[in-house]
Structure 1
């Protein structure tokens, strides 16, 4: 009888730990997501190369919507799709649509496409949004655009 009570006590404690952990995780994602969603982020570096403020006369950017959709431009074509948050500052992009124009400089656009395919984590560091893959290698860096 005493052993059953002890086992039930451990089970109850484990359930409380799981519930509290999931609440903390959800709160962390919500806090981080409100810092970066609904804002326009200018692409400043991709694949280790600094990106000009204007590429083909347009500012390369990324916008993460609060609804799980994103829109971007690499200085030529509009790019859009969906994303989802993962645990531990994880993110997964799914490609949706893209216009199909050819422009003189496509390097930023190709870099963005690579980022959408490979990025699995993000972090905000010194007012910059950085997307990384696996070991933390930066794929792309953005700075927030003042409205």
Structure 2
């Protein structure tokens, strides 16, 4: 009888499941989006100075592309711009004065805010497909999204 009680006790304890906190701690993490590369990515402007941008009809979506050779180019919505950028240290991002054409269009205020934000750039953060351009105080002056062209 003693051996059958021992066997029943062993079976009962062997069937216990792990505590909930132990199961949650060992569960695989949810997949995350890898960070888009700073260079050679088509970054489309989504916010400037904390405000979402809207693109009037018949104007281009503002974008920025940072080339591997240190060239910065893009479109502010009305005009193309070009210059150079510096990113010698981790998270550093500074632009030389950008040259652009001088045409006017309904989105000129957005363009001026975008190029003004780039002029204030001091650093950046990338999280997934989002690039945040930060000024010297660490405040976000622009938020851009990586758009993958086909």
**8 Å CA contact 2:56, 2:107 repeated in 1:** no
Higher strand share: 1
Change in Cα spacing, 1:141 to 1:55, as seen in structure 2 (3 Å) is farther
**Bigger relative contact order, structure 1 or 2 (CA pairs below 8 A, ≥6 apart):** 2
Give the match for residue 73 of structure 1: 75
**8 Å CA contact 1:56, 1:75 repeated in 2:** no
Aligned residues: 115
TM-score, normalised to structure 1, is: 0.71
Inter-partner Cα distance in structure 2 for 1:107 and 1:97: 17
Structure with bigger gyration radius: 2
Any runs of at least 4 consecutive aligned residues in structure 1 with deviations exceeding 3 A, and if so which? 53-56
Give the match for residue 86 of structure 2: 84
Stretches of structure 1 lacking an aligned partner (at least 5 in a row): 1-31
Stretches of structure 2 lacking an aligned partner (at least 5 in a row): 1-34
Query: Any idea what SS the aligned residue of 2:140 has?
Result: strand
Inter-partner Cα distance in structure 2 for 1:93 and 1:55: 29
Higher helix share: 1
